[in-house]
């Protein structure tokens, strides 16, 4: 299952609690994908997005080519021409075997 949300000048990204995002991700089935597309023509979201990326870097693991994309819950952020992606470890063994990038 996946959820795709798009934000732009007409439908702006509204600030939200990052912990609420983590709770949402943790309650999804393994393999769930959340995609956020952000078109920020005036760069109003850039500072907020920077905080979100820092938070996700601390809580999740960045995706690389070795990640089984059907096994893990993932979040992908498309910001202008950049792509950022993380996954939620499926269990404690995954956490101990992985390293944050």
DSSP for 72-83, written as a single string: SEEEEEEETTEE
Distance CA 26, CA 54 (A): 18
Segments forming the whole domain that contains residue 65: 2-8+16-97
- Would you state the pLDDT for residue 65? 62
Tally of domains within the chain: 1
pLDDT band at 93 (very low <50, low <70, confident <90, very high): very low
Please, what's the b/e burial string for 6-35 (b: 16 or more CB within 10 A of its CB; e: otherwise)? ebeeeeebeeeeeeebbeebeebeeebbbb
> pLDDT tens digits for 2-52?
999 999 888 888 889 999 999 999 999 988 999 999 998 888 888 999 999
Task: Give the per-residue pLDDT at 97.
Answer: 47
Q: Identify any residues that bridge with 58 across adjacent strands, giving them in sequence order.
A: none
Q: What is the pTM of this model?
A: 0.80
18/67: higher pLDDT: 18
**What pLDDT shows up at residue 4?**
95
What's the Rg (C-alpha) of the chain?
A: 14
Given this model, what pLDDT does residue 50 score? 93
């Amino acid at each position: 299952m996946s959820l795709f949300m798009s934000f732009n000048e007409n439908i702006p990204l509204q600030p939200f609690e990052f912990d609420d995002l983590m709770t949402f991700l943790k309650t999804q089935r393994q393999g769930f994908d959340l995609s956020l597309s952000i078109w920020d023509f005036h760069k109003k979201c850039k500072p907020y997005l920077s905080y979100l990326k820092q938070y996700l870097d601390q809580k999740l693991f960045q995706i690389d080519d070795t990640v089984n994309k059907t096994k893990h819950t993932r979040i992908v952020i498309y910001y202008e021409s950049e792509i950022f992606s993380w996954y939620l470890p499926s269990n404690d063994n995954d956490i101990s075997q992985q390293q944050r990038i």
